[in-house]
Amino acid sequence: MSFDLVVSGRAFVKGEIKYSEIGITDGKIASVKSSVKGGEKRIDVPGGVILPGFIDPHVHFRDPGMTEKEDFSSGTLSAVHGGVTCVLDMPNTLPPVTDVSMLLDKKDHVKGKAYADYGLFAAVTPGCSAGMLAPLVPGFKLFMGSTTGKILLNDDAEIISTFRDIALTGKRISVHAEDDRMISKEKENNCRDHLRNRPVEAEINALRRLSRFKGMKINICHNTNAESVALAGELGFTTEVTMHHLFFEADKFSSSEYKVNPPIRNSAVRDKLYRSFINGKISMFGSDHAPHTLSDKSKDFDEAPSGIPGVETTIPMVMNMVRNNTITLKQAVSMGSETPAAAFGMRKGRIEEGCDADLSVFDTRNFAKINVRKLHSKAGHSPYEGWEAVFPDIVMVRGEVQIEGGEFCGEKVGKDAYGKH
């Protein structure tokens, strides 16, 4: 059998690291064996480990409508530099994706702009055409708490009706789980005030209200506390966690740089969340990449928008945790590749025959400090400046090399994972 490309080296295959030769044809993995003959081109990986490309199930690329903050080109360029080969973009753009017409317009708008593969979420709104939208999206996004954009839906009767329609499609619903009725609008001067206005009880109560949907395909975004994680697990929901909720606390990190919805919590809540993560209780990582310009984030706290950029730094920080033996490589791949691919119905996330040839090579001996000047988001700032991270040496999207030797060498090959190619 002839292959377009053969990639060989130590690879993470079926839960183990072993020498493998990966034959790729037409952007798909066609063979994974200890020895593969042929190949028009071969790439031998002398160091590091070949991993499945990582998937970020939660980004806000601000395209269309707010492209001064980010667009699909800058966002996906950031993604591949962080080892992310597929991103799932949220619908709270301008205009928001609330129907088939708006979705198709957004698909046309971003087509040809991406360096990584992608999917576009649709918003959960009253009477949304779930059956028509479902084949075109990775899933649906419900905002129970107010945040960037105006697609809030926090009425139980409307949620029940809409969820019933979505359940018939088999698609997953990602939920921003904060009960908006418990969110205060009092003036804020720092992250402690923001935490007071958006208490952890709002998050937990939103989960309680979702308990009627036990067993349904629901994903709880950006969990901030162990109680929510445990309740979501009991209900059979998948869960996401961000780096900012794992590592920041409101008392120590108080400026608008750390303002985000839901908010960073106090140290006691953060520590319990971290233990849940270490103990494998959380399904997947999600950066909740939410870029704003430096001038926006430099406003007085009360006026500054909520959101933290992270698509380029999340997986490098995860791989640094692997380097430090904080988590295992198996957990990193499960949370970063395998679970999001399975949750959102993609033939990605594994080095197996039939999967897209999305690969990333990380060598944990090569760590560096995050330097904002070397990041690629339009945001131009990061709360992780100076933190240690392991960036990828090689990144491939469907067999197309985007990063080699840690440097960008690719093209806009990204495709809609839920569109007709």
DSSP secondary structure string, 18-79? EEEEEEEETTEEEEEES-----SSEEE--SSEEEEPEEEEEE---TTT-TTT--HHHHHHHH
pLDDT in tens, 163-194: 999 999 999 999 999 999 999 999 999 999 99
- In terms of phi and psi (left: phi > 0; alpha: psi -120 to 50; beta: otherwise), the region of 181 is alpha
**Residue 57 has what pLDDT?**
98
Sign of CA dihedral 137, 84, 341, 207: negative
Orientation angle between helical segments 200-210 and 226-234, nearest 10 degrees: 0
Domain boundaries along the sequence of the chain: 5-50+355-408, 53-343
User: Is 296 annotated in the active site?
Assistant: no
**Residue 3 has what pLDDT?**
94
> Could you write out the three-class secondary structure of 220-248?
ECCCCCHHHHHHHHHCCCEEEECHHHHHC
Specify the DSSP class assigned to residue 258: G
Asked if 48 contacts 361 with a C-beta cutoff of 8 angstroms, the reply is yes
Taking 90 as the threshold, does the pLDDT of residue 17 lie above it?
A: yes
pLDDT bracket for residue 421 (50, 70, 90): very low
For residues 72 and 69, what is the distance between their CA atoms, to the nearest angstrom?
11
Q: Residue positions in the annotated binding site?
A: 58, 60-62, 92, 141, 176, 222, 288, 292
pLDDT in tens, 205-253: 999 999 999 999 999 999 999 999 999 999 999 999 999 999 999 999 9
**Residue 148 has what pLDDT?**
62
pLDDT in tens, 329-355: 999 999 999 999 999 999 999 999 999
pLDDT bracket for residue 95 (50, 70, 90): very high
**What are the φ and ψ backbone dihedral angles of 272, each rounded to 5 degrees?**
-65, -40
Asked if 4 contacts 24 with a C-beta cutoff of 8 angstroms, the reply is yes
For residues 46 and 406, what is the distance between their CA atoms, to the nearest angstrom?
14
Average pLDDT over residues 267-280: 98
Q: Residue positions in the annotated binding site for Zn(2+)?
A: 58, 60, 141, 176, 222, 288
Instruction: Tell me the fold of 5-50+355-408.
Output: Urease, subunit C; domain 1 (2.30.40)
- Output helix, strand, coil percentages for the chain, rounded to the nearest 5: 30, 20, 50
pTM over 0.95: yes
Q: Residue positions in the annotated binding site for substrate?
A: 60-62, 92, 292
Q: Which of 56, 288, 358, 393 is catalytic?
A: 288
Taking 60 as the threshold, does the pLDDT of residue 115 lie above it?
A: yes
Average pLDDT over the chain reads 96
Neighbours of 308 (CB within 10 A): 27
Determine the 3-state secondary structure of 278 from DSSP: helix
Average pLDDT over residues 84-89: 98
Taking 70 as the threshold, does the pLDDT of residue 149 lie above it?
A: no
Instruction: Tell me the fold of 53-343.
Output: TIM Barrel (3.20.20)
**Residue 145 has what pLDDT?**
87
**Residue 420 has what pLDDT?**
64
On the question of a common fold for 5-50+355-408 and 53-343, the answer reads no
